[in-house]
Structure 1
Amino acid sequence: MNSDTNYQKALHCYIQASLNILNHFRTSVKEIHHVGSTSIERMDLPGEVDVLLLMKYEDNINKLADHVTGVGYDKVDDFSSDYIEEVVLRHSHEDFDVNFIMMHHESERKDEILYCRNRIKENQKYTERFRQLKAAYLNERIDGDEYQDRKSDLFSAVMDMQEDAGIV
């Protein structure tokens, strides 16, 4: 019997999917980060794997995205209201849908996303709040719109803590 947790499976998928996409973007990617609910070990819930691809050249992002749509990656137009300005690609890998969120490596949003992920990982209260919210969505106690709204509220609360601490 396989005793891997959802987190371990998602982490393995993140690594493999990132290596695969690097075959297409090797010279254009500056950083790669596992973000979203599957990047938080204590949550250990199923979900899509979100990968933040920080690109060296902002003007190439759409062109690069268009290039890989011909080899099995889908461009996602309605991913999340949190990522309106970013280009998102989706590809199935193992048993997961993997979302590659592409943005320029100097984007201020990058710092916010990584700060928020790290704070949720570090703070058991935030982790548990996020876990309960995700579980409610997965168990269909709330719909996708309510999930997105409540998740945005949680992320705003985390970011408000950043401002209170004077961290920029």
Structure 2
Amino acid sequence: MEDTRDIRCYFRAELDRTYPAPNAPGITMPPFLLTGTMASGFDGNHNPTPQDPRAGMLPIADPAAACTDLWDRNFMNPGGITSDFIPADFITPPGTAGGWDGRSTDAQGKPLISGPSEHHAGHYVPQLTECVIEGTVSVIPGTADICSKLGIPSLVK
């Protein structure tokens, strides 16, 4: 079974492409975003397995759902790099007035991010398929045959 503690959510079915980082001239982003969950109370300074780059991370039961959440909240379209996936008749929701999703607040009840945010539910989510790249679960936009088209294995559950 593949390690499901650190999931790669690909922007496109282009495994080596890089993208300009929005608001950071001259900086490029890899072809994916990483998502995962750290174990509560994990102390990296006292890591019993420092050779494991995923130490302290919890397994993700449904990698496609984790990436679906990033697409749904518009994290997978930085600088409009996946806008061409969005069907012409899809209605993108307007930005929220406060917080990532209008619900996330700090201990005082204030939005985690002040001002409008585009990171809220309701954005376009393409069909996603779970593949494996270099032993890492990788969720890629495309139909069920995208892994074989890219010459990589599908995730076996």
How high is the TM-score relative to the length of structure 2?
Answer: 0.28
Larger radius of gyration between Structure 1 and Structure 2: 2
How high is the TM-score relative to the length of structure 1?
Answer: 0.27
Higher relative contact order (CA 8 A, sep 6+): 2
